Structure 1
Amino acid sequence: MTMTSANPGPEPRRTPVGLFADQYLVGQAVRTALATRGFPVANYRWPTGPRQLREAAAHLVQIEAVVGVLLCDLDRPERLAEVADMVETADSVRWLLLTNAPESPRWGAALTHGVLAVMPTSTGLDDLVVAVSSAAAGGTVMDETVRRRLVREWREVEEDERRLVARMDSLTARELNVLSLLYDGRSVRGIAEMAGVSEATVRSQVKAVLRKLEVNSQLAAVAAYRRAKDVARTHRPARNH
């Protein structure tokens, strides 16, 4: 962790800002930009486990940081879970999230986990300074209409995911094993040889998988399995909004 600040001149003292970036160079650029506007910036490595999370959260309290900035790629499923963990662990901080991921329901997911506002990494310095200052003052940052829409879109995605998980849970252990082998690229013949059963038996199991997942092809079943794995990697209980 490094601390950087620029001479604020006659401006009033700025609140310290905690900065976490999963891409070092992007984080450096944002740190430097905020520092030129008088914000003391505590720059942290992206946490990779509970211990780093706790240590970072404790330091944020120590430096009296009111605002935190997260820079990350939300397209990676695990990032959303990590954002949720950070917001939960350092819940005294008002969090802003900058991402290069295009606007999508995932933005709404971050909001449901307690992020104050989500903005693109293309946000200009002046707008970022306004956002940080407003967050520090306890004000709003994100247009409420946009915020509600993104949260609603994520709730709809969550409902789809719950239905998907329920369908996955309806598979027997053997059916789930067959599906995982299809996901790994195994053929029906190869699965039959591995299990020591006939191809007809495996094809019957595949048909059961398709029926329970409510899809029409092995390709669609594999896609559903992949999505279910992503859901497992990103799931965290959302805060009430």
Structure 2
Amino acid sequence: MSTPSPRSQVKVVIIEDHTLFAESLELALNLEGYAVRRIADADTNGSAQAMLTSVVRMRPRIVLLDLDLGRLGDGVRLITPLVKAGVNVVVVTASTERARWGECLVHGARKVLSKTQPLNDILATVRRINQGFPVIDREEREALVGHWHEHREERAALKQRLTQLTPREEAVLGELMLGRTVRDIATASVVSEATVRTQVKSILAKLEVSSQLAAVGLANSAGWRPASR
């Protein structure tokens, strides 16, 4: 166990786009005596890279990171560069997806906490990191990382089904994902509705689903987009 630093010397950066939650967290950490800085959207110029550069220059010991950062995108992609810069990353998120939590740990986050947990849980995690204590046990970590691996395998299987589509079927599925009807697609493509229905039927068979809605849901789950987009 390392000797804990005086709290006034422990820099904690909050990356969070929900102002009320961020301000509450900042206030609580200030009362605990930490040197806290909250990164506001105005500090970033809408650029995740600019924000990352700014945070690294501050040389914080701990970053409390949200995952859903509005126009700055997915916070997961910030974890690895922050960890490589020597930062302890604690994810604080509204997401309940255990696979996503596992992904954060794979990228190097020390722990993932839910925003629904008591504020004292976040403060206790910051204290333990400063004191050099572990903040997640092996069983919890392995379970969350296992969820991530399962999710990756499921997503790969879905993508494999999608590779069976012909270019035309890809285009039709892409239109369905935009909310277009069979009639809309037929009109835009200058073909009969019967032709489009045949193409849709083939898409459903290849994707092993029974409805257009399920096909769209599968494509979204796989993160798929037609080649032309």
Shorter-chain TM-score range: 0.7 to 0.9
| Residue 33 (structure 1) aligned with residue 33 (structure 2) | no
Counterpart of 1:237 in structure 2 is none
CA distance in 1, matches of 2:206, 2:172: 13
1:165–1:87 CA distance, 2 compared to 1 (3 A): same
Counterpart of 2:56 in structure 1 is 58
Q: Alpha-carbon deviation of 1:13?
A: 4.0
Counterpart of 1:129 in structure 2 is 123
Counterpart of 1:21 in structure 2 is 16
Indicate conservation of the 8 Å contact 1:134/1:140, yes or no.
yes
CA distance in 1, matches of 2:117, 2:211: 43
Q: TM-score, normalised by structure 1?
A: 0.78
Corresponding residue pairs, total? 215
Instruction: Say which SS state the counterpart of residue 149 (structure 1) adopts.
Output: helix
Indicate conservation of the 8 Å contact 2:91/2:113, yes or no.
yes
Q: Alpha-carbon deviation of 1:73?
A: 4.5
Q: Alpha-carbon deviation of 1:192?
A: 1.7
Counterpart of 2:80 in structure 1 is 88
Counterpart of 1:148 in structure 2 is 142
CA distance in 1, matches of 2:7, 2:178: 59
Instruction: Say which SS state the counterpart of residue 74 (structure 2) adopts.
Output: helix
Q: Which amino acid aligns with 1:89?
A: P
Single out whichever of 192-201 and 44-53 deviates more from structure 2.
Answer: 44-53
Counterpart of 2:47 in structure 1 is 49
CA distance in 2, matches of 1:182, 1:122: 36
Instruction: Say which SS state the counterpart of residue 82 (structure 1) adopts.
Output: coil
| Residue 194 (structure 1) aligned with residue 188 (structure 2) | yes
Indicate conservation of the 8 Å contact 2:172/2:199, yes or no.
yes
Matches within 5 A, 1:187-226: 187-226=181-220
CA distance in 2, matches of 1:215, 1:191: 20
Q: Alpha-carbon deviation of 1:41?
A: 0.4
Q: 1:158 aligns with which of 152, 162, 168?
A: 152
CA distance in 1, matches of 2:148, 2:107: 11
Instruction: Say which SS state the counterpart of residue 119 (structure 1) adopts.
Output: strand
Counterpart of 2:3 in structure 1 is none
CA distance in 1, matches of 2:152, 2:211: 24
CA distance in 1, matches of 2:100, 2:52: 25
Counterpart of 1:68 in structure 2 is 63
Q: TM-score, normalised by structure 2?
A: 0.82
Instruction: Say which SS state the counterpart of residue 139 (structure 1) adopts.
Output: coil
Indicate conservation of the 8 Å contact 2:8/2:35, yes or no.
no
Q: Alpha-carbon deviation of 1:98?
A: 1.2
1:179–1:22 CA distance, 2 compared to 1 (3 A): same
Q: Which amino acid aligns with 1:135?
A: I
Matches within 5 A, 1:101-120: 101-102=95-96, 104-120=98-114
Indicate conservation of the 8 Å contact 1:44/1:56, yes or no.
no
Alignment root-mean-square deviation, CA? 2.5
In the alignment, structure 2 segments of 5+ residues that lack a partner are 1-5
Indicate conservation of the 8 Å contact 1:83/1:110, yes or no.
no
Could you report, residue by residue, the CA deviation over 1:48-97 in whole angstroms, capped at 9, with x for unpaired residues? Answer: 42432342233232xxx1111113459x8x98x63222112222111111
Instruction: Say which SS state the counterpart of residue 65 (structure 2) adopts.
Output: strand
